[in-house]
Structure 1
Amino acid sequence: MRGIQDVLEAALRHRRDADELMLIADETAAAHVRWAGNALTTNGSVRARRVTAVAVRHAAAGVHVGLVGHGGALGDDLPDLVRAAERAARDAPPAADAASLPAPWRTPSWAEPPGGTSADAFREVLPGLADAFAAAGRRQLYGYAEHRVVTTCLAASTGARLRHLQSSGLFDLSVRDGDESAWAGVTAPDLVKLDVPALAAELSATVGRPGCRVELPPGRYEVLLTPSCVADLMLHLYLAAGARGALDGRTAFSRPDGRLPIGERLTALPLTLRSDPDHPLLPCAPFTVGRGTDDLTAVVDSGLPLRPTRWIDKGVLTALVQTRHTAAQTGAPLTPMVDNLVLEGGPDAPSLPEMVRSTRRGLLLTSLWYLRDVDPASLLLTGLTRDGVHLVEDGEIVGTVHNFRFNESPLSLLARATEVGLPVPALPREWGDYFTRMVTPPLRVPDFLMSAVSPAT
């Protein structure tokens, strides 16, 4: 395929009927491997490209925006892509949130080639898996590993030339022993330092732990949420924290008088929820990339520089996700969405094992699954526990409990949480193929609602 920058420069030259034109290209290289029943099953690699054209027309009635995407190699059809975006802009009604494209700036890496990956990304994983299979005995290992490199380039007729290379590694491992199961997920820019045998041994010890199977009724229980559970819940909160939805009266951040709840205390704990494109463990794009318009993004805002943002500061809501349009409406600072998320408490936070040891009686939840919205106005979710609900008594895990269906709101959980642990890199299991750059702590919640017993194993 032609160089990605050449594709964008050529496409810009085909502008005819738009006042401004922006092209966003994503070139993806990915490699993966799967295993089941202590044996590798599949592996493969993918390379793909997608280009999005955004045409902006200024008219007496307002600003009109057209957006068209195209996947695959581009060459002779570049003019058609631009023409289609220009036609879409002509046919579109004036966009209430439209604006001129961001001012020009250039990232130092603009001219560099796209990144790539291959099976070599698993040079440490595959021997480790072989050792884990050999040590598994009667236990069965299942899982998936992926390394993905996405090169995003943005070019606009205003002069912007931006490039970012995002490397993401994901490792998902389940261990089964009869009806018992345990799971762990790992996320990192790459998987080179992953100790697979140690992780498999830790999970095997979990399903092989002496104890008993305990039947418990639905109800409210003290629970310890692992960082993975917290990551899934906080990501739901983040994706609901758009100023646009709040202003429209559609979300848990809406208020009857139409104001934004900035400055409200959400939790008594000193919890801070923040994003930072330069985070040392979770680096991400330093500019906004919107491939459509919704509560969190506006496609015409693509190319805005990003900076560290605190969404919650020591328990107090300090920002919602703002586009240029909502920031102008509210008079609040422009705080676009950033592609990573960190939740942390105060200093000297305990580890998860220390939190277990200080528990008189409660449930330790390994991971959550199949989370779905119930009531956006309160951010109420329903979902299932999965791969390990453990009964803790007097500081020790004494048994395994069946799975539950639960009904909870991440906002309510923050308000009711009584202890926050040590934050660590965490993979949100429900969102592992979409948003992987998170650092979260374990949380203690004294009255987590288990609404029904689940027959799922």
Structure 2
Amino acid sequence: MSAQSKSQTGQQIVEAALAASTADGAVAYVVDSSEANLRWASNSLTTNGAMRSRQVVVISFVDGGAGMAAGTVARTGTPDVAELVAASEQAARDAGPAEDAVPLIGPGDPMAPVSTGDWDADPATTSIEVFRDVAPALGQAFGEAGGRDELLFGFAEHQMSTTWLGTSTGLRLRHDQPTGRVELNGKSRDFGRSVWAGVGTRDFTDVSIEALAADVQRKMAWSQRRVDLPAGRYETLLPPSAVSDLMIYAYWTMEARDADEGRNVYARPGGGNRIGDRICGLPLTLRSDPAEPGLECAPFQVVGGSSGAASVFDNGMATPATDWISGGVLTNLVRPRAWALQQTAPAVAALDNIVLSDPGATATTDEMIASTQRGLLLTTLWYIREVDPQTLLLTGLTRDGVFLVEDGEVTGAVNNFRFNESPVSLLGRATQASVTERTLPREWNDWFTRAAMPMLRVPDFNMSSVSPAS
């Protein structure tokens, strides 16, 4: 690698890759990321650190006579651009014709984004300074937990990523994406009790360690009394974090092609998809919006490899606000442009945030607990796996606090369970939703953090077996 290539900016690498291309078309993008983190265990900060990384991706499109083929090659750091472009073009020549081939999007295309970002600006960055108010608050929380003979564990992470995307058709797009999260675990000295609280954030200015610690303290107090319950169907309050993990999976499987071909839960018996069908008992809306306050995400697609939910030919395609479910009715499915053309249906892109809401909901989560005669209150879910794509049956475990609610009050903690449930079925059976609030998914937050959800009341949540997990 030459000294010159080491000093190249992300924009320069994109331009160099496009200039070096001899293919019939090309897409190049660079992602520069910086990250800072804090970690703590047993009421003490343990590590902190900062790091930087770069990913460079080149996608070449070659028409070998039988149809357009695509080849993607990615490198980390700052690679030899000419070698990377040549490898991408060879990958395209070695590939067969792509079934999702369509013309690349260019400026002025109806599907091109309106906002393109400041192409020439330096990359956005973060540093350990982002935690300037977090560390002192943690110190106070550690002292208070120690006074109760309890232990706090957890971490805080913040990442800033800048993406530059360019195409041989003339698109030049840029997006800065901040992503942050905090997870706080409370445990008893003997590790027999464990609870969790977490939050997502863009910049940590809205993170209250005091509030998270108070949530953990309340749940630890709830868990002092232990009640063993058998497997069965229980009225269950699913908090926003648990709802988000289930809805993310429902969202990830919203692929129009799978539905049209009868392979997922959104397929209509007898053929076609369920768009237009009511799938919620409540007037719930599930939506995504790149401009959603506090959950802002990229307004265009960046795709390294084709799948049922995205196509490399759709790089740069706008991702406008979309209702997936509106008033309880399935409204949209994710549909790349190639499949949209085959089905004479609109192309619809996936986004990196989701919001579930009931416009008529007024209850808070505490008010929903207070109105529960007898039921379970969950904290989080984990180890979620798909059992049956036709019904979207999922299995998984409860984690870090399952509580018994009696006569409107939490009266103790119960054992953990394995559950078997479909998030789509749950939407049809839910009888109450709280007001929507920003939440942090527990299972999927390595990949998806931008979510806002209500608490849902499900009258018959299926706890299929008792779990020994703590």
Flag whether TM exceeds 0.5 (same fold): yes
Map 1:136-175; keep pairs closer than 5 Å.
136=145, 137=147, 138-175=149-186
Query: What amino acid sits opposite 2:462 in the alignment?
Result: L
Question: Conserved in 1, the CA contact under 8 Å of 2:201 and 2:207?
Answer: no
> Equivalent residue for 2:428?
415
2:197 pairs with 1:188: no
1:27-426 equivalences under 5 Å are 27-74=32-79, 77-104=80-107, 107-136=116-145, 137=147, 138-177=149-188, 178=190, 179-209=192-222, 212-426=225-439
CA distance in 2, matches of 1:100, 1:82: 20
Asked if structure 2 preserves the Cα contact closer than 8 Å seen for 1:123 and 1:192, the reply is no
Q: Provide, for residues 92-122 of structure 1, a one-character-per-residue CA deviation record: whole Å limited to 9, x for no partner.
A: 1111111121112671411111111110010
Which residue does 2:4 correspond to in 1? none
* Residue 22 of structure 1: aligned partner: 27
CA shift for structure 1 position 212: 2.3
Residue by residue over 1:314-372, the C-alpha shift from the partner in whole angstroms, topping out at 9 and shown as x without a partner, is 00000001100121122222210011100000234211000001101000001101101
What is the match of residue 5 of structure 1?
11
Match of 2:68, as an amino acid?
A: V
The 1:211–1:118 alpha-carbon spacing in structure 2 relative to 1, beyond 3 Å, is closer
Unaligned 5+ segments in structure 2 are: 1-6
Question: Which whole-Å deviations, capped at 9, do the CAs of 1:293-324 have from their partners, x for residues lacking one?
Answer: 11211111010112110000000000001100
CA displacement 1:125-180 (0-9 Å, x = unmatched): 11111111111121100001000001111011100000000001100001112422
Equivalent position amino acid for 1:11 in 2? A
Query: Percent of aligned positions with the same letter in both sequences?
Result: 49
- Structure 2 distance, partners of 1:4, 1:144, is 30
Give the superposed CA RMSD. Answer: 1.3
The separation in 2 between residues aligned to 1:71 and 1:147, in whole angstroms, is: 20
Partners in 2 of 1:130 and 1:211 — Cα distance? 25
CA-CA distance at 1:201 after TM superposition: 2.5
Per-residue CA deviations over 1:42-70 (Å, capped at 9, x if unaligned) read 22112111111111123431111111111
| Larger mean Cα displacement after TM superposition, 121-130 or 323-332 | 323-332
- Could you tell me how far apart the structure 2 residues matched to 1:306 and 1:201 are? 38
Structure 2 CA distance, aligned partners of 1:351 and 1:260? 35
**2:345 aligned partner, one-letter code:** A
CA contact (8 A) 2:34 2:50 kept: yes
C-alpha displacement at 1:443, in angstroms?
0.1
Cα shift at 1:194: 1.7
- Are the aligned partners of 1:368 and 1:384 in contact in 2 as well (CA < 8 Å)? yes
Deviation at 1:417, TM superposition (A): 0.6
Q: One-letter code of the match for 2:83? A: D
Stretch moving more, 216-225 or 320-329 = 320-329
Aligned 8 A contact 1:49 1:71 in 2: yes
- Check whether the contact 2:69–2:98 (CA below 8 A) recurs between aligned residues: yes
Structure 2 residue matching 1:412: 3-state secondary structure: helix
Residue type matched to 1:78 in 2? V
- What letter corresponds to residue 93 of structure 1 in structure 2? G
- The 1-side partners of 2:361 and 2:221 are apart by 32
Name the SS of the counterpart of 1:293 in structure 2.
coil
Amino acid at match of 2:459: P
Conservation of the 8 A alpha-carbon contact between 1:56 and 1:100 = no
1:442 aligns with one of 439, 446, 455: 455
Contact 2:193/2:223 (8 A) holds in 1: no
Amino acid at match of 1:121: V
Structure 1 contact 405–452 (Cα < 8 Å) conserved: yes
Separation in structure 1 between the aligned mates of residue 141 and residue 134 of structure 2, nearest angstrom = 10
The amino acid across from 2:187 in the alignment is: R
Aligned to 2:3: none
SS of match in other structure, 1:208: helix
Structure 1 residues 349-358 or 203-212, which shifts more?
Answer: 203-212
Asked if structure 2 preserves the Cα contact closer than 8 Å seen for 1:274 and 1:310, the reply is: yes
What is the alpha-carbon distance in structure 1 between the residues aligned to residue 223 and residue 354 of structure 2? 37
Which segments of 5 or more consecutive residues in structure 1 lack a partner in the other structure? none
SS in 1 for 2:63: strand
Q: CA deviation at 1:260?
A: 1.6
Matched length: 454
Is the CA contact (8 Å cut-off) linking 1:122 and 1:192 kept in structure 2? Answer: no
- Counterparts of 2:71 and 2:267 in 1: how far apart (Å)? 30
Instruction: Indicate the larger mover: 322-331 or 336-345.
Output: 322-331
TM-score (norm 1): 0.97
SS in 1 for 2:130: helix
Given that 2:419 and 2:465 are in contact with CA atoms closer than 8 Å, whether structure 1 keeps it comes out as yes
